[in-house]
Amino acid sequence: MAGQQRVALITGGGGGIGGAMCAAVSAGGAKVAVVDRDEATARRVADGIGGSAVAIAADVSTEDGCAAAVAAVEQALGPVDILVNNAGIGLSALRPDGERNLPDLQEVTPEIFDRFIAVNLRGPFLMTRLVTPGMKRRGWGRVVNNTTSFFTMLRTFPYGALKASLEAASAVWAAELDGSGVTVNVLVPGGPTDTAFIADGSGMDRGTMLKPAVMGPPAAWLASTASDGFTGRRIVAAFWDPALADHRAVAEAASPIGWPDLAQSTRVWPKEST
């Protein structure tokens, strides 16, 4: 694929974080598909980028929706080289103050739980499963998953717990695809971000929040050939200093996906084969 323009599919692309990543990845030279349930917001982002950016309306919480999204992107731009699983649903979707007054087990009905699973975990699984075979055949690809901070994973249910699941899945997929030319990494803002994902009624001070643009520089780097061989890592965007050379910014902002140090706490498994 030397000399060819890569194709990026970014879910939740119509939102604040998604829009920032779409713009940055496009500026890095990729053709970008802005995929979102809300066609109007996807169109605004794509029109703002211009060029080869396209808006795709799709619900990636369903198997049919994921398949339709990938097919539409391939028809419009070509095979997917870069997948950013950014679409998500947070506690503000339950009620405006959900981020502050956390829901308990009784408030999270089975129906709510299923919806959170579909968007935050099943969708990324389905999208990754759909696009990675082609990436492997072509010998190059990127999967970038937006999870959350460890603090949120331990604090909120179902959102944080499901993002912890996606974090662990990312580590498994990175190991499975290692050596294929396809990398799997995690990119998180590093704290509450000033987007509609957090409702105005949350009681949180937007002035203290991160801005969506922090996700742009690391997303663009992960989507580029400069990140070849970089896999199984988590980047905290708030720690990425765009004033630094990329290799130094990565060193400051990256760590292993998940919690590999905890794997050493067991005495019986895994054992080295003899």
Cβ atoms within 10 Å of 125's Cβ, excluding its own: 16
Q: What span, in angstroms and rounded, lies between the C-alpha atoms of 55 and 39?
A: 7
DSSP conformational letter for 215? G
Say what the pLDDT of residue 267 is. Answer: 61
Helix (H, G, I), strand (E, B) or coil at 85: strand
Tens of each residue's pLDDT in the chain, 274 residues: 445 799 999 999 998 999 999 999 999 999 999 999 999 999 999 999 999 899 999 999 999 999 999 999 999 999 999 999 999 998 888 888 877 888 899 999 999 999 999 999 999 999 999 999 999 999 999 999 999 888 889 999 999 999 999 999 999 999 999 999 999 999 999 877 666 666 576 667 767 777 889 999 999 999 999 999 999 999 999 999 999 999 999 999 999 998 887 776 666 666 655 4
Say what the pLDDT of residue 274 is. Answer: 44
Q: Give me the residues paired with residue 36 across strands.
A: 57
Helix (H, G, I), strand (E, B) or coil at 202: helix
Say what the pLDDT of residue 225 is. Answer: 96
Q: What span, in angstroms and rounded, lies between the C-alpha atoms of 228 and 142?
A: 9
Q: What span, in angstroms and rounded, lies between the C-alpha atoms of 251 and 242?
A: 12
Write b or e for each residue in 1-21: b if 16 or more Cβ atoms lie within 10 A of its Cβ, otherwise e.
eeeeebbbbbbbbbbbbbbbb
The question of whether 159 is a catalytic residue gets the answer yes
In the structure encoding, which two tokens stand for residue 245, read together?
């050379």
Cβ atoms within 10 Å of 208's Cβ, excluding its own: 9
Say what the pLDDT of residue 75 is. Answer: 97
CATH architecture of 7-265: 3-Layer(aba) Sandwich (3.40)
Residue spans per domain, the chain: 7-265
Cβ proximity of 41 and 63 under 8 Å: no
CA trace torsion 259, 262, 264, 266 (10° rounding): -140
In the structure encoding, which two tokens stand for residue 11, read together?
């879910």
Catalytic-labelled residue, pool 140, 159, 197, 240: 159
